[in-house]
Amino acid sequence: MDVSSLTELAEIAIKASNDMGLRLIVASKHTIAEMEAIFMSRICDVLDKASVAYEVGLSDDVIAQFPHLHDGGFIAVMTNEAGDTGTDVINEWHGGHSMNSIVYCRNGVVYEEMPGGTDPRQFALYKAGQPNYHTPAIYVQAFARMFAHVNPQERKYLERVSQIAVILHDDTPENLRETFEMIKMIKKEVLQLK
């Protein structure tokens, strides 16, 4: 584990939490793994110095709570492996709903992704005619947020695009959420913005 950038990671988490008004949770297997204990210690030191409110937990326990966290959003600061597991859990529980996750990296890059975005089962489910978690609205939301990071002057417009996708998704019956009609509805509404 590269611990040299943990201070920066904690600072990014503070900024994101403040900007979006999200609950901050720090999780690791700090009770059984030395490197995870170092991760937890470094992150919490920065949060304490900044007088930021946060919760601490074991990764497994925090991830187990993900399906039940419906209080307006959260940021979980954890190692990459735990983060991958956590987004897969969210994908299984909340799949098909209008949500996405954001990954902040130490080099300043921000990745917008759908929960379970790299889950190889998605394409197989889609081909078998079963529900596919990746609705057009979720892709629009992720891309709009990503473009807003690199084009801040377009942030308000892109936030509105993301909101339209979420509203249309949530107001559309589940059997229509993954259709070309959904894409056309989003496009029609977005074209009326400018």
| pLDDT per position as a tens digit, 18-72 | 888 888 999 999 888 888 899 999 999 999 999 999 999 999 898 888 877 766 6
| Integer Cα distance of 179 and 136 in angstroms | 8
The angle subtended at Cα 131 by Cα 128 and Cα 132, nearest 5°, is 90
Q: What is the mean pLDDT of residues 7-15?
A: 87
Specify the 3-state DSSP secondary structure of 46: helix
Burial 81-100 (b: 16+ CB within 10 A, else e): ebbebbbbbbbeebbbbbbb
Q: Is the dihedral of CA 132, 137, 142, 143 positive or negative?
A: positive
The more confident residue out of 161 and 1 is 161
Instruction: Give the pLDDT of residue 45.
Output: 95
Q: pLDDT tens-digit profile of 139-181?
A: 777 778 778 877 889 888 888 888 887 777 777 776 666 666 7
Higher-scoring residue by pLDDT: 53, 187: 53
Structure tokens at 135: 């609705």
**How are the residues of the chain apportioned to helix, strand and coil, as percentages rounded to the nearest 5?**
60, 10, 30
Domain positions in the chain are 1-94, 96-194
Residue 150: per-residue pLDDT = 78
Q: Which two tokens stand for residue 54?
A: 């946060």
Identify which has the larger pLDDT, 136 or 116.
136
C-alpha to C-alpha distance for 20 and 61, rounded to whole angstroms: 24
74-77 and 23-28 strand pairing? parallel
Cβ-Cβ contacts under 8 Å for 38 (sequence gap 6 or more): 1, 3
Pairwise pLDDT comparison (114 vs 15), residue with the higher score = 15
Whether the pLDDT of residue 96 is over 50: the answer is: no
Whole-structure pTM value: 0.60
98 pLDDT tier (thresholds 50, 70, 90)? very low
Please check the confidence at residue 187 and state whether its pLDDT lies above 60. yes
For residue 103, the SS3 value is strand
Task: Please give the mean pLDDT across all residues of the chain.
Answer: 76
The H-assigned helical ranges of 54-179 are 59-65, 80-94, 121-127, 136-150, 155-170
